Structure 1
Amino acid sequence: MSQAEHRQGLHELLADLPGDETIVPEAVRGILDRVPGYDGVGLDSLEKSVRRNLDLSIRVVQGRRAPVETEIPEAEELAIERLAQGVALGTVNAGFRECMSVILRRLLALAPQYGVSAAEALSCSTSLWALGDAFSARALRVYQDAAITAAVADSARKMQWLVEAVVRGMPPADLRRGATAYGVPIDRPLRAVSIVLPPDDGNGGGPSAEELITSADTGAARLVTAPHAPGAIGILWGDLEDSPLPAGTILALGPPVTLDELPGSYAAATRVLQAAQQTGTTGVVDLERLSWRMGVTASPETSAMLQERFLAPAREHGEFGTHVIEALTAYLQHGMSIPRAAAAIPVHVNTLRYRLRRFEDLTAADLSDLDDLFEIAWALASGTAPGGR
């Protein structure tokens, strides 16, 4: 037979193949017998997919070339259908391969009757196996897109639950349902957290929330967060060890409370955060660490008065005044130890003593008086934040 006659035989075979009554039942039986995971798929759905695969196979063989995944929308249609039925991707691919095997075996069995040459039959086999690869790629894309969509939706639900639970409060049943879903314990003390991340360095160098969590979590503590102005909020349980945070980060903690009392803990954490920002305190902060510094934000009039009394006279002396305030700060931060304060700047101990005496001369303060020391510390703390006087 001539090549044209062989091709005519293949054309007639492909035209008759949809009417073959053995392909659909054999493929369905093979899928159900040899591919686990189709229990939730109805017989009618399987039969329709086999017929669809048969039509697709005929189209590919007629095209006489290997298909690409964008040319087989049937793969996406079937993958979406099976995804909705709860069928795993591996099961979908195995079922398709089983169906292709039945179609190919039947095509090869009929080929001699239609005068199809061995070369033409081999070409059909090659095309159908290439179809299997393209189908798998298209189905994989569907399942990946679905997984990403589901993950994004779950993340959005988690963030919404966190905001409601921490900031506003929510019905007890919803509160406990979310806590169980997101791994937040309901039977141990929890602390609301308000977080400010360090500013981006302009080159995308600021830490992400995930990086912050990684650095804040320890074996004894867990922290879950969600974006919320001015940075993020979260829930902490366990003991947070002194693990380093990115420079400039403020992680403000509210007091330990029960799950349904988190909004009260968050209100306290917000006040702690405000005080930390005002006093230039970074790292992990709470009421115990800030202590009297919490009053800086509570009484701005007091802060202004003390800055005017203790800092303004030094600042009037320009660069020398800056050195005086630097010496005073180091003196208080190092337990009023002149040697340690001088080493921290660093300057000679006599230079430090001179600057401290000049501070007393300029302000009429007495660095041996406890009241004056407390007020000086308040003035320094309230003037530390950006924009402080």
Structure 2
Amino acid sequence: MENVSSVTSDGSVADVHAERWQELLARLDADAPDIAEGTAAKLLATIPGYELVDAGPIRESSIRNTALIIRVINAGTEPKAEDLPEALRLADERIAQNVPLGSVLHGFRMSLGEILEHLVQLGPEYNIDPGRMLRWSTLMWAVNDAFSTRATRVYRDHEVATAIADSVRRSEWIGKAVSEGSELSELLWGAAMYDVPADTPLRALAATSPDHAKAETQIQKWTQRAGVRVLASVQPSVIVGIVIGEPKRNVDGPGFAVGLGRAEVLSKLADSYKDASLVLKAADNLKLNEVQRAQDLSWKLAIHASPRVTEILAQKYVKPLRESGEFAHEIVESLRAYVDNQMNIPAAARSIPVHVNTLRYRLRRFEELTGCYLEDTSTVIEVSWVLEVFGREL
């Protein structure tokens, strides 16, 4: 091309074919609505996830993207994620419109592609050097990277906040479901929300764990073995849950004490939770790190409810046994075998194992120390009580 020169006002000579990139950027800004129109039509036709979004908001975001590119080109440096408030605004808008993150990132890349294509088409008209156009292209894809980082962070924070809010709502509902006086309408709302049957018998669950951070995971593993589903809430001092389905017996528990209440429909689940709490307290006192029901513990529930009885029985049995020294261990072992085998001495002797006469001697020694006789049913009940509370300490 022939160089054409002109004389400036100060007498110097200027090349009329010099780059006019500022004019090009002004033209790009003026063409932003037209670019936005094409971008919106293409995006809605090709990218899933925008079914609930009108073309208007997409055109508006495309125009903002054009302004962003002009700003970055003028700055001449690659932006950081923190430098892009546009990403925050767009992500917030699309979250409200239920557009998934992948679709948002795809849409932004498409928008940048349309802007870049327009720049390339206008380049020759404004005598833009190919090297400058390449630098602009590099800047634009740096914008894409920074935008993706910022938008992803916004979506992640939103997901975390949503999960926390849902967890709080779920915990509150579970607490109300096992409490007396809850409104039926609210119970039914939660039942629909969390897929809990309203008319099928459920069981309340109460549990404690030394590691609350892992407790819910351990409970969920137990539910898989037991063939049930549990909606659980980990509270500071107790784990509260609703068991959906009838748990299988004789499966490994979660590794800590769990109390299950009676089977009740949702509107009466508070009664089930009373049972579960009582069972849990009794299991804790007895150091039973298993899943327990009221019928499993039976009379042992009274141990937690009657601490004064435990004190009386401790004076009656534990004190004289401890005074017998090391022989106390052998006596306790024999007593446990005797009780566990329904007072059948031969069977009890085999279970330890010791000779039958040895077992009889130990039992007789117990009677001498305590002044009580094992033929008496009351003594057997009291000994069973003492063994549950103190058996591991004797």
**Alignment TM class, shorter chain as reference:** 0.7 to 0.9
1:321 and 2:313 equivalent? no
Shift of 1:59: 2.3
Task: Give the aligned partner of residue 80 of structure 1.
Answer: 92
Shift of 1:315: 1.4
- Of 224, 229, 232, which aligns to 1:225? 232
Q: How does 1:357-368 map to 2 (within 5 A)?
A: 357-368=364-375
1:351 & 1:45 partners in 2: Cα distance?
90
1:146 and 2:158 equivalent? yes
Q: 2:369 corresponds to which letter in structure 1?
A: L
Q: How does 1:134-283 map to 2 (within 5 A)?
A: 134-197=146-209, 199-200=210-211, 207-218=214-225, 220-228=227-235, 230-241=237-248, 242-247=250-255, 249-283=256-290
Shift of 1:105: 1.4
- Of 47, 67, 75, which aligns to 2:79? 67
Q: 2:140 corresponds to which letter in structure 1?
A: L
Task: Give the aligned partner of residue 23 of structure 2.
Answer: 12
Of residues 376-385 and 46-55 in structure 1, the stretch that sits farther from structure 2 once superposed is 376-385
Q: How does 1:293-332 map to 2 (within 5 A)?
A: 293-332=300-339
Q: Secondary structure at the match of 2:232?
A: strand
Checking the alignment, whether the CA contact within 8 Å between 1:311 and 1:325 is kept in structure 2 is no
* Unpaired stretches in structure 1, ≥5 consecutive residues: none
- Of 357, 378, 381, which aligns to 1:371? 378
1:87 & 1:222 partners in 2: Cα distance?
31
- Of 115, 124, 130, which aligns to 1:112? 124
Change beyond 3 A, Cα 1:366–1:229: farther
Q: Secondary structure at the match of 1:225?
A: strand
Bigger CA radius of gyration: 2
Change beyond 3 A, Cα 1:38–1:254: closer
Change beyond 3 A, Cα 1:347–1:60: farther
* Unpaired stretches in structure 2, ≥5 consecutive residues: 4-14
Q: 2:319 corresponds to which letter in structure 1?
A: A
- For normalisation by structure 2, the TM-score amounts to 0.85
Q: Secondary structure at the match of 2:53?
A: coil
Q: 1:299 corresponds to which letter in structure 2?
A: S
Checking the alignment, whether the CA contact within 8 Å between 2:44 and 2:55 is kept in structure 1 is no
Shift of 1:43: 4.5
Checking the alignment, whether the CA contact within 8 Å between 1:278 and 1:384 is kept in structure 2 is no
CA deviation string 1:50-104 (max 9, x = no partner): 2210111122233444433233221121111121122222332232222212211
Task: Give the aligned partner of residue 292 of structure 2.
Answer: 285
Q: Secondary structure at the match of 2:326?
A: helix
2:224 & 2:46 partners in 1: Cα distance?
47
CA deviation string 1:177-224 (max 9, x = no partner): 101211211221111121122x35xxx9x8422212312443632222
Q: 2:29 corresponds to which letter in structure 1?
A: P
Change beyond 3 A, Cα 1:276–1:6: farther
- For normalisation by structure 1, the TM-score amounts to 0.86
Of residues 305-314 and 142-151 in structure 1, the stretch that sits farther from structure 2 once superposed is 305-314
1:152 & 1:275 partners in 2: Cα distance?
33
1:343 & 1:207 partners in 2: Cα distance?
41
Change beyond 3 A, Cα 1:161–1:365: same
Shift of 1:299: 3.3
1:141 & 1:325 partners in 2: Cα distance?
63
**CA-atom RMSD in angstroms:** 3.0
Task: Give the aligned partner of residue 7 of structure 2.
Answer: none
1:47 and 2:59 equivalent? yes
Checking the alignment, whether the CA contact within 8 Å between 2:184 and 2:267 is kept in structure 1 is yes
Change beyond 3 A, Cα 1:212–1:350: farther
1:48 & 1:158 partners in 2: Cα distance?
38
Of residues 32-41 and 51-60 in structure 1, the stretch that sits farther from structure 2 once superposed is 32-41
1:322 & 1:146 partners in 2: Cα distance?
60
Checking the alignment, whether the CA contact within 8 Å between 1:6 and 1:117 is kept in structure 2 is no
2:76 & 2:354 partners in 1: Cα distance?
86
1:334 & 1:322 partners in 2: Cα distance?
18
Checking the alignment, whether the CA contact within 8 Å between 1:307 and 1:380 is kept in structure 2 is no
Which structure is higher in RCO with an 8 Å CA cutoff and minimum separation 6?
1
**Number of positions where the alignment pairs a residue of Structure 1 with one of Structure 2:** 379
Checking the alignment, whether the CA contact within 8 Å between 2:332 and 2:391 is kept in structure 1 is no
Of residues 216-225 and 337-346 in structure 1, the stretch that sits farther from structure 2 once superposed is 337-346
Change beyond 3 A, Cα 1:17–1:156: same
Change beyond 3 A, Cα 1:216–1:85: closer
Change beyond 3 A, Cα 1:131–1:306: same
1:344 & 1:246 partners in 2: Cα distance?
29
